[in-house]
Amino acid sequence: MKLKNIFISFIILLTSCSHIHQVERSGSLEPYRHLSAITKNQKCKIVFTEGQKAIGKNVIVKMDSTSWVNCKTFKRYIVPTATISKFVVSKPKRSYWEGARIGLVGGGLLLGYLWYSEIEDVGLYDQKGRRLASTLFWSYFGGLLGAIPAGEIGKVIGSRDVYVFYPPKQN
């Protein structure tokens, strides 16, 4: 049963590590400024509409063109923004906290449940208030214990922000 809970927590951790944001290609400068601020000093994967990919840093997104510095050759490339379909940005610090929240909940529930069932079987506490307080303490402690390894796993797996361009709405 414990192995099944660990496996389910790991699957949930894997599925919660990617966030997809839609960016409308419009006449407004705001989405492009927002993208440029996010990709500044970040390693970013750029996916083109034809399927090619490039990895760059210091991506500057404008309405008509996008430029970046190639991580291997340190050359600056400039292409039309219309040829780009999406940007993928990885954020390791956020990955740690996304993993830790799963460990916090999973570890707290697991240790709290195990402690609650243990004191119920042994009959340690007859008063419900003391039993509840003890269970809450062990849930909190289990959450802290679960958050540390799950955070490290989250950092290894990584968290990505995917910014996908879509055409403007037709009136």
The rounded percent of the chain whose pLDDT value lies above 70 is 50
CATH code of domain 16-90+160-166: 2.30.30.100
Render 102-115 in DSSP notation, one character per residue: HHHHHHHHHHHHHH
The Cβ of residue 155 has, within 10 Å, a number of other Cβ atoms equal to 18
Q: Does the pLDDT value for residue 105 go beyond 60?
A: yes
The domain locations on the chain are 16-90+160-166, 93-157
Average pLDDT over residues 48-54: 88
- The pLDDT value given to residue 79: 92
> First CA to last CA across the chain, in angstroms?
55
Average pLDDT over residues 158-167: 67
User: Range with the lowest mean pLDDT among 10-24, 40-54, 89-103?
Assistant: 10-24
Average pLDDT over residues 28-43: 76
Q: Does the pLDDT value for residue 74 go beyond 80?
A: yes
Q: In terms of residues, how long is the chain? A: 171
Q: Does the pLDDT value for residue 76 go beyond 90?
A: yes
- The pLDDT value given to residue 14: 53
Confirm if 127 and 91 have CB atoms less than 8 A apart. Answer: no
Q: pLDDT by residue (tens digit) across 115-142? A: 666 655 555 555 555 666 666 776 777 7
